[in-house]
Chains A and B, each alone.
Chain A
Amino acid sequence: MSAATAVYERRGSALALETFAAWVLGILWVLPLLFAFWTAFHPAEFSTRFALGAPLTLENFEKAWHAAPFARYFFNTVILVTMILAAQLVLVTLAAYAFARFEFPGRDIAFALVLVQLMVMPDVLLVENYRTMTTLGIKDTILAIGLPYFASAFGIFLLRQTFKTVPKELDEAARVEGCSPLATLWKVYVPLARPTYLAFALVSVSYHWNNFLWPLIITNSVESRPVTVGLQVFSATDQGIDWSIINAATLLSAGPLLIAFLLFQRQFVQSFMRAGIK
């Protein structure tokens, strides 16, 4: 609740009206997902009929789980997301530190080049990146999915901003104690930027967990496919769609992130706010 507008809070009927509108929107928003839940948890005959007494069943999930190697897909996705995040954290920290605290020729041009990636994401350059991966010989590997994203301009931008707000006195104090620049980075800057790191990590994980088009193109086999591509391969059948199973599979794929969010939503939201992303 915000104290900022407390003085302007609606009362009485106006409040009731706004509450009503907000709730209608909320219900509309949640309806498709509820529908998916309904279909996934009821047998196929009830997938489109909303009989309240309909029996609940887990068989759709079972069928979906056995119909495609979701376990492997989840494993791939976890590896992918972890690898990307780890690489991003290292590269982004170093680069942001360089931009924030060091003077060197070409710094501004380099920063401009970095910012280009904010608009021109690797996804857009599908065709060429595919060619590059072929040349490098790493097509159809999890590494190939993640490599174009390791250097995240968004992360560099965010972190540079945060590093710039660190008081110079702390930097000098560490230097006086005889710390090398890297040690200063590790001891002073990184701890102070923790909210930013958290926010960035959340954005990165959810973005790459949900990424689809590039992984679709670059992977071919079960061993490297993430769960989004697995879901698509699974639901694109030539022979007729069984909504119950597809919705079950859909919920399975979206499940982990959804559950993580439900459990940690407070932290999720707060980290965004604390990082001061304005």
Chain B
Amino acid sequence: MTRTTQWVYGWLMLLPALSLLALFTHYPAVANLWHSFFSTPKASRPAVFVGLDNYRVLIDDPIFWRSLTNNLWYALGTIPASIVIALAMALWVNGRLAGRGLLRLAYFTPTVLPMIAVANIWLFFFTPEYGLLEQVARGFGFATHNWLGSQSTALGALMIVTVWKEAGFFMIFYLAALQSMSPYLAEAAAIEGASRWHFFRRVTLPLLMPTTLFVLVNAVINAFRLVDHVVVMTRGGPDNATSLLLFYIFETGFRFWDSSYAATLTMVLLAILATTALLQFFVLDRRVHYQ
């Protein structure tokens, strides 16, 4: 094939996908930046260039800071937990435990449910007085507690819901990796006299590193992208204790109709995601090589 033919074929085949990506990912990101420098147009007043005004409002906005810190705590709470639990699940399901198939089913089922459904079920679960959690806790003699209605536990409750939903999904990836490990490694290690723990730490874990990174990236994206449960369970309350960044953007843009401020908030979210992407690239590049 001549070079020109290669160019033509290459670009033509790429064009549909790339143009859609440009329209719905790249262009909006840039347009967002543009709109964050203007005021929100209302019926009586068209948009006006305001420079960095929106960003100044952002810095002074306590709800923004609350949403941001909530999101960071939320990420910190859900990502390691779901990864560790997923790894444990994969190890158990991979081993010779009784009822493996059922266990795998139990672990993975939450993943196929829509987050909306999950949120409704857990809302019921958390209901004070007669929700399941309450009934179980009462059975053990604990006092009743309003999980979603108190600032100290609301975000934690949401974290539990997320881990419940995500861990099974990550388990599958770990399972795939575990099953593709060569059996000779274990035999060789056993011959060398390595203990089980030693084998795990020195052989299994490093071999699982690509999977862990993949799972980590997914988890980070989801920590910022998935706010369905906030919409259903707490609507950001009590007093913004469960407000996450994307949820605040959603409220600002579609309940308060303040589109330029929503654009400003989105810039922060984009910055966070871009930073994570850069970190991921550099770490991935160094540790892992795909063919």
Which A residues are within 8 Å of any B CB, using their own CB? 1-10, 15, 18-19, 21-23, 25-27, 29-33, 35-36, 39, 48, 50, 90-92, 94-95, 97-99, 102-105, 107, 110, 113-132, 147-148, 150-151, 153, 156, 161, 164-165, 181, 206, 209-210, 212-213, 216-217, 227-228, 231-232, 235, 243, 246-247, 250-251, 253-254, 257-258, 260-262, 265, 269, 272-273, 276-278
Contacts and interface: CB of A to CB of B under 8 A. Distances in A.
A110 B12 CA distance: 13
Contacts of B202: none
A35 B121 contact: yes
Contact of B117 (A119, A254, A261): A254
- Secondary structure dominating the interface of B: helix
A217 B97 CA distance: 46
Interface string B24-57: 1111110110010000000000000000000000
A40 B18 CA distance: 46
B17 A39 contact: no
Given A127-B266, A128-B35, A4 B186 contact: yes
A277 B31 contact: no
Interface residues of B, number: 113
B32 A269 contact: no
Interface in B88-138: 88-89, 92-100, 102-118, 120-122, 124-125, 127, 130-132, 135
A105 B6 CA distance: 10
A18 B95 contact: yes
Contacts of B97: 15, 18-19, 22
A276 to B, nearest CB: 7
Given A9-B96, A95-B14, A125-B32, A272 B227 contact: no
Given A104-B6, A250-B121, A6 B13 contact: no
Contact of B29 (A18, A120, A132, A231): A120
21 contacts: A5-B199, A6-B183, A7-B190, A8-B186, A10-B196, A26-B107, A29-B168, A35-B125, A39-B124, A99-B14, A103-B3, A119-B221, A122-B28, A126-B253, A126-B266, A128-B32, A151-B18, A247-B124, A253-B117, A269-B175, A278-B176
B178 interface: yes
Kindly list the 5 A-B residue pairs having the minimum CB-CB distance in the complex, ordered from nearest.
Answer: A128-B28, A104-B10, A273-B176, A210-B114, A102-B10
A125 B186 CA distance: 47
Given A212-B116, A228-B116, A254-B117, A2 B94 contact: yes
